[in-house]
Amino acid sequence: MKHKNIISLGFVSVALSVGLLFSTNLFAKTDVASKETNTEASRLEALAKFTKVLSIVQQYDVDDITIQELIDKALDGMMKNLDAHSNYLTQKDYKRLQVQTDGEFGGLGITVGMKEGALTVIAPIDGTPADIAGLKSGDIILKIDNKSTIGMTIDEAVSLMRGKVNTPIDLTIVREGELKPLSIHIVRGIITIESVHTKMIDKNILYIRVASFDKKVALDVAKAIKKKKAVTKGIILDLRNNPGGLLDQAVGLVDEFVDDGVIVSQKGRREVETKIYSAHSSKTITDVPMVVLVNGGSASASEIVSGALQDHKRAVLVGENTFGKGSVQVVLPITEKEAIKLTIARYYLPSGRTIQAVGVKPDIIVVPGEITTHKNEFSIKEADLKKHLQKELEKVDGKKDKDKEDKKDKKDIITPEMLNKDIQLKEGVDIIKALIIIQG
């Protein structure tokens, strides 16, 4: 009787095992379908919750508000809470973005962003009303014409700062090193961006200033290099206060200096958003020594250029740590007149390091400022001695005077006096001269 019980239990055990195995296989087969069902159920629950909240707000809110207004507010809140660069573009916002892309608009000439919840100047654009008025990278905007920016979106701030040409605006800002807020008075103007400016230093160093990455930057820089190629022994690329722009222009610019390897890669959640951009030897136009100037206003595309050149050991970076915007945004229309701007990927430099929130650290850190010189009235030189070689001195002095006259007649050069007013540029020039000597 005992054995029978044991045998019976054995059969039960085997049956249970087979049953469990069968159940496991069944669950494995239906696992995907189950997940899809759960996902769909969760989506329906979330939509039901959203609809219920819309209905309650519309019914009980103190103000009479339409369903369209509620939806717009909900979309705006959802996009803003994703990250600092994603947002919902209303008809007015979308139109404004399209105007800005055309390259000419009325406003102040600054690029702004949210940094730790504060409306911050990323960079003023060269020669614009904001630049002339003295706004600087890193300035925090507290008020726009007495309207507090606390809780204000970037688009709302931009809307307030733009306006009719020749109309005034007052910004209250907080600046590092200043004990109290500053009031900056600016008169709005037509903002036409000239992205590339070139000058010569000491007749053999080409200075290239790129203010932003619009659709012709790579072409304009290539033209400038080819025009001065015969005399150029070194290049200084100035990306300070460059807020970025088009990715293809950043890639194209690096390609002019690097003949092989990865320039930048982007990685997103979707496979289609993962891309690698590489250099081509056929597009390289120069291999002379380079220095790249960067600061806290260098963002996005300018960080890709400076970081790629640094990783390829193609240039020496001088200045301050860059802004740290290493994400990819696209504008996706949702109707004919409305769209969303969404972050879809992150950028990575050739070495695999990220730009996002850390920026690019220069090889040589130099804070902005001027070089102060003091003339020593008590020093004695050869020219102060009696019976020195007067004739030779006259020759040298005559040459110096001629050089000074030549420099005064040219607007496309940077003089020693100008260098002394920009210590970062001066440091860059000194490094380039050393590299030229080493290369012979």
Q: Which residues belong to the active site?
A: 300, 311, 325
Treating both helix axes as pointing N-terminal to C-terminal, what angle do 247-255 and 217-227 enclose, rounded to 10 degrees? Answer: 20
Lookup result for tokens 């690019």: 360
Calpha distance 99→158 (Å, rounded): 13
Q: 145-170: buried (b, 16+ CB within 10 Å) or exposed (e) per residue?
A: eeeebeebbbbbbbeebbeeeeeebe
For the record, the structure tokens of 383 come out as: 């020219």
- Contact of 414 with 428, CB cutoff 8 Å: no
The answer to whether the beta carbons of residues 318 and 363 sit under 8 Å apart is: yes
Residues 417 and 403: their CA atoms lie apart, in Å, by: 14
Q: Return the SS3 of 179.
A: coil
Using alpha carbons, select from 93, 108, 434, 95 the residue that is nearest to residue 290.
434
Strand extents, DSSP E, 213-272: 234-238, 262-268
Taking the C-alpha atoms of residue 329 and residue 339, their distance in angstroms, rounded to an integer, is 12
- Return the ∠ at Cα 135 (arms to 133 and 139), rounded to 5°: 155
CB contact at 8 A, 123 and 109: no
